[in-house]
Amino acid sequence: MHRNDLENIPAVLACGLLFEAVESLLRVAMLLPGLFVLARIDHTWPYVTALNHEVGAVFNLVRSIVVIVVPAWVLVVALD
């Protein structure tokens, strides 16, 4: 579980810093990283409490969408 955090969080932190540097919409810049953090916490909770795996998978999907949207947004803004 900790290894998964260590694989994902540094990459998202780097993309998040780039996102904050290029993004001018404050609400979006606050929403996506916050959504990632909440989804990360909610993804970890089912594993800690031994809940159903599908519950964690839903939050993993949200987290994965944020991980795809943030770098894509940075690329679009940087190339524009």
- Number of neighbours of residue 34 by Cβ within 10 angstroms: 11
pTM comes to 0.69
Average pLDDT over residues 64-79: 83
pLDDT(62) > 80: yes
Q: How confident is the model at residue 23 (pLDDT cuts 50, 70, 90)?
A: low
The domain segmentation of the chain, as residue ranges, is: 2-79
Q: How many angstroms separate the CA atoms of 20 and 22, rounded? A: 6
Half-sphere exposure at residue 29, Cβ-oriented, CA atoms within 13 angstroms: 11
Considering only residues 5 and 67, tell me which one the structure prediction assigns the higher pLDDT: 67
pLDDT(5) > 80: no
Alpha-helix runs per DSSP H in 1-80: 2-22, 26-49, 53-79
- φ and ψ of 40, to 5 deg: -65, -45
- Number of neighbours of residue 52 by Cβ within 10 angstroms: 8
